[in-house]
A = this chain, B = another copy of it.
Amino acid sequence: MNADEFRRHGHALSDWIADYQATLETRPVLAQVAPGTIRAALPRSAPREGESFEAMMADVERIILPGITHWQSPNFFAFFPANTSGASILGELLSAGLGVQGMLWATSPACTELESHVLDWLVEMLGLPQAFASEGAGGGVIQDTASSAVLCALIAARERAQAGAGAGAGAAPGPLVAYASNQAHSSVEKAIHIAGVGRGQLHLIEVDENFALRPEALAARVAADRAAGMRPFFVAATVGTTSSNAMDPVGAMAGICATAGAPLWLHVDAAMSGTAALCPEFRPLFAGVESADSFNFNPHKWMFTNFDCSCFWVRDRKALTSALSILPEYLRNQATSSGAVIDYRDWQIPLGRRFRALKLWFVIRSFGVEGLRREVRKHVGWGQEFAGWVAADPRFELAAPAPLNLVCFRHRGGEDANQAIMDRLNQSGDLYLTHTKLDGKLTLRMSIGAARTEHRHVERAWRRIQEEAAHWEKRKGQARHAD
């Protein structure tokens, strides 16, 4: 593909994306294909000689699009938002066009410095503690996901705990133990497992009626474990759990981490809800974060930046880099030796990295801080409105508090009713929502935050939910009548 062809295809593809996005509203949200459908339409072997871009795009239309679940649909209310924006898409395009690899400062200084800088901007934008800014001992880095962020935090904590033990005298230290609520994301368990600490060494702490960690239960478990010769070293708090958007009491947890003889590393996972901290009125949900050792949120969830872009800060960057740095000869260079630069390869699991800060910079500049706040307030407002509709309908109940843009609710008809309502909604293509279990009960989740969602889409979703509830009630009545 020569330069002129690239121009031509780049124009056409930009138009294609604009057209695709304009049609999103009319497409069934959840892909309606059976397993194997896509593969069956693809040739068994790769082509021997090159094909035209037009042929490839024709296959995108014919083969790929029917197999797409449209995360950017205004009717996508499943899982969590993964909203994107024109600015982000163009930032990703620019990153691909430059084609740099930022493993070291020297391999593209702008890739590293823009990242440090924009993450410092975000410290201010989110009201995060100044200790996370790169001017002092802390700093931020873009990870691919919150899973990788918690793994990095856990490894830094593991090394800090083991170095402390190694330096001290006395008996061999007991096994490491980590803590999170029983509502924490599965990535905490996965990280404990990957890091070789052992799945059984993650102690899940009970939650209160709002699905938030009970700090007195955490304190008791830490004390008991310590008395039993174990070594508590890591706590993961969640500000906005995936399941129900529960808010762990970060301040109380920080107190437990700090007052212990050997401090526990406190990681705060705010993967989706971190974006809410843009708005001062939501910052009370984050109270206590000023005492955390690390913090993470995902602009690729609710801040209009396409996957992958997960922002991770640490209070003590040396704890992170000393846990993850290995410097072979072929990566040595003057800038690294000078100690004057950040080499982000030491802040993450992989060695290589692409220029992800560009899209984040583009998004922040394109919206502006106030523009982003307006979007967050809009989504939270609709979430609150939706929760009100649920509360006002006697057939339904709220299953958990809805502090922001996620509403957990259920039909009072039990598991059968909720499964039927969800399945029919998703199969209709009109919207897509997913479920969780709270108190052992099947619960529907209405997650509001797609970039193209408007108020009318939320209204229609509620209308469709009510229709499917009526359908189920009618069938149920018929079945009872037939008995």
* Residues on A facing B (Cβ under 8 Å): 1-7, 9-11, 13-18, 20-22, 30-31, 33, 35-39, 42, 45-51, 53, 55-56, 60, 63-72, 79, 82-90, 92-101, 105-111, 113-114, 116-118, 121-122, 124-125, 144-148, 151, 155, 158, 185-187, 189-190, 193-197, 242-243, 300, 306-308, 324, 326-333, 335, 338, 340-341, 349-354, 358, 361-362, 364-371, 434-437, 445
Partner of A48 from the list B20, B361, B368 (CB cut-off 8 Å) is B368
A6 partner residues in chain B, CB cutoff 8 A: 14, 17-18, 21, 86, 89-90
Interface-centre pick from A151, A190, A324 (highest chain B CB count, 10 A): A190
The answer to whether residues A18 and B31 also contact, given A50-B366, A197-B196, A324-B190 and a CB cut-off of 8 A, is: no
**Cross-chain pairs A/B with CB under 8 angstroms, 15 sampled:** A9-B14, A11-B14, A33-B109, A37-B109, A50-B365, A50-B368, A53-B87, A53-B366, A65-B110, A69-B106, A82-B99, A82-B100, A145-B350, A151-B349, A243-B329
A68 partner residues in chain B, CB cutoff 8 A: 98, 100, 108, 110-111
- Asked if B362 and A97 sit within 8 Å, CB to CB, the answer is no
- Asked if B93 and A92 sit within 8 Å, CB to CB, the answer is yes
List 6 tightest A-B contacts by C-beta distance, closest first: A196-B196, A10-B14, A67-B110, A17-B97, A1-B86, A38-B113
* A298 → B minimal CB distance (Å): 8
A106 partner residues in chain B, CB cutoff 8 A: 30-31, 69
- Asked if B308 and A354 sit within 8 Å, CB to CB, the answer is yes
- Asked if B67 and A31 sit within 8 Å, CB to CB, the answer is no
- Asked if A79 and B20 sit within 8 Å, CB to CB, the answer is no
Main secondary structure of the interface of A (DSSP, over half): helix
Cα distance A53–B308 in the bound complex, in angstroms: 22
* A158 → B minimal CB distance (Å): 7
* A370 → B minimal CB distance (Å): 5
The answer to whether residues A51 and B368 also contact, given A93-B96, A121-B45 and a CB cut-off of 8 A, is: yes
Cα distance A15–B327 in the bound complex, in angstroms: 39
Cα distance A125–B45 in the bound complex, in angstroms: 8
Q: Which residue of B lies closest to A442 (CB)?
A: B329
A121 partner residues in chain B, CB cutoff 8 A: 45-46
Partner of A36 from the list B1, B71, B84, B113 (CB cut-off 8 Å) is B113
Q: Which residue of B lies closest to A32 (CB)?
A: B109
Query: Copies of this chain, how many?
Result: 2
- Asked if A60 and B10 sit within 8 Å, CB to CB, the answer is no
Interface-centre pick from A2, A79, A332 (highest chain B CB count, 10 A): A79
- Asked if A14 and B18 sit within 8 Å, CB to CB, the answer is no
Cα distance A335–B195 in the bound complex, in angstroms: 30
The answer to whether residues A35 and B96 also contact, given A56-B365, A158-B196, A364-B46 and a CB cut-off of 8 A, is: no
The answer to whether residues A86 and B5 also contact, given A190-B326, A352-B308 and a CB cut-off of 8 A, is: yes
A124 partner residues in chain B, CB cutoff 8 A: 45-46
A435 partner residues in chain B, CB cutoff 8 A: 329-330, 332
* A273 → B minimal CB distance (Å): 15
Cα distance A125–B13 in the bound complex, in angstroms: 28
The answer to whether residues A82 and B53 also contact, given A35-B338, A187-B351, A326-B190 and a CB cut-off of 8 A, is: no
* A152 → B minimal CB distance (Å): 9
A50 partner residues in chain B, CB cutoff 8 A: 365-368, 371
- Asked if A340 and B35 sit within 8 Å, CB to CB, the answer is yes
- Asked if A47 and B93 sit within 8 Å, CB to CB, the answer is no
- Asked if A330 and B243 sit within 8 Å, CB to CB, the answer is yes
A2 partner residues in chain B, CB cutoff 8 A: 86
Interface-centre pick from A97, A105, A147 (highest chain B CB count, 10 A): A97
- Asked if A20 and B67 sit within 8 Å, CB to CB, the answer is no
- Asked if A366 and B56 sit within 8 Å, CB to CB, the answer is yes
Cα distance A371–B51 in the bound complex, in angstroms: 10
Cα distance A94–B264 in the bound complex, in angstroms: 44
A88 partner residues in chain B, CB cutoff 8 A: 96
A326 partner residues in chain B, CB cutoff 8 A: 186, 189-190, 193
- Asked if A114 and B186 sit within 8 Å, CB to CB, the answer is no
- Asked if B437 and A329 sit within 8 Å, CB to CB, the answer is yes
Cα distance A100–B66 in the bound complex, in angstroms: 13
- Asked if A99 and B72 sit within 8 Å, CB to CB, the answer is yes
- Asked if A365 and B46 sit within 8 Å, CB to CB, the answer is yes
- Asked if A89 and B82 sit within 8 Å, CB to CB, the answer is no
A63 partner residues in chain B, CB cutoff 8 A: 110
- Asked if A35 and B335 sit within 8 Å, CB to CB, the answer is yes
A5 partner residues in chain B, CB cutoff 8 A: 86
